[in-house]
């Protein structure tokens, strides 16, 4: 029997969805675009539940989403997203069976600090996977929307940027995310 997930009205979750056996769930640009369209469609379909996507990052074999709920748990939204994308993927690639490994994993965000750290973790995922050197170089995350380099779509950057001083919100968020890269680089052993 599947255990019922813990949910609180108005809660925020860091969601992770993985490909079955860690297989890729995105094989080309069209796949990434389709998944983002599926999220947008699902948000509209459940507009009465007032779900808000705070940030996201689509990797080759998994997805990170941070979502704020309002009056309904995430089950319906995530179920619709996964089912719609699976139908698309299976038809396109003549695939049979499960695309995703289990149900989505949802970590309850319990503090402002945890929310900011989770957003940084999400946006640094492609950097830590050695896909890009800086988070702004990765096309399939919300980072460029939050820092104003790309028009916002499906997210609301205010959830993150409201934590930073009004005049410098964007630069402070960039510093918050990218200074973490400098700290990790400084920790690496020097070769002489």
Per DSSP, the residues of 38-101 read: HHHHHHHHTGGG--EEEEEEE-SSEEEEEEE-SSS-SHHHHHHHHHHHHHHHHHHHT--S-SBS
Average pLDDT over residues 102-107: 89
Kindly provide the b/e burial profile for residues 45-55, where b requires at least 16 CB atoms within 10 angstroms of the residue's own CB: eeeeeebbbbb
pLDDT of residue 7: 74
What pTM does this model have? 0.90
d(CA 15, CA 163): 21
Per-residue pLDDT at 66 exceeds 80 = yes
| 65-85: average pLDDT | 95
C-beta atoms surrounding 124 within 10 Å: 22
As a whole number, the mean pLDDT across the chain is 91
Mean pLDDT across 78-104: 93
pLDDT for 5 equals 62
| Dihedral Cα 10, 80, 16, 18, nearest 10 deg | 170
Residue 185 has pLDDT above 50, yes or no: no
H or E segment at 120? helix 112-128
Domain residue ranges in the chain: 12-184
Residue 182 confidence (pLDDT)? 65
pLDDT computed for residue 32 by the predictor: 98
% of the chain exceeding 70 in pLDDT = 92
Q: Which residue has the higher pLDDT, 154 or 98?
A: 154
Q: Is the model more confident about 166 or about 19?
A: 19
Instruction: Look at residue 136 and tell me whether its pLDDT is greater than 70.
Output: yes
CATH 1.10.3720.10: does it fit domain 12-184?
no
């Amino acid at each position: 029997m599947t255990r019922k997930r813990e949910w609180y009205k108005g809660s925020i979750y860091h969601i992770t969805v993985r490909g079955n056996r860690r297989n890729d769930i995105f094989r080309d640009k069209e796949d990434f675009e389709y998944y983002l369209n599926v999220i947008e469609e699902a948000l509209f379909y459940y507009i009465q539940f007032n779900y808000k996507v705070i940030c996201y990052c689509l990797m080759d074999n998994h997805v990170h989403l941070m979502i704020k709920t309002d009056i309904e748990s995430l089950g319906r939204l995530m179920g619709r997203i996964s089912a719609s994308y699976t139908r698309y993927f299976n038809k396109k690639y003549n695939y049979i069976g499960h695309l995703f490994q289990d149900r989505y994993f949802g970590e309850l965000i319990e503090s402002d600090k945890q929310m900011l750290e989770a957003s940084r973790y999400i946006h640094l995922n492609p950097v830590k996977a050695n896909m890009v050197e800086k988070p702004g170089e990765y096309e399939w995350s919300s980072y460029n929307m939050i820092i104003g380099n790309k028009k916002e779509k499906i997210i609301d950057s205010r959830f993150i940027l409201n934590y930073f001083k009004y005049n410098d919100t964007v630069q402070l968020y960039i510093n918050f995310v990218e200074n973490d890269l400098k700290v990790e680089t400084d920790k690496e052993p020097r070769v002489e």
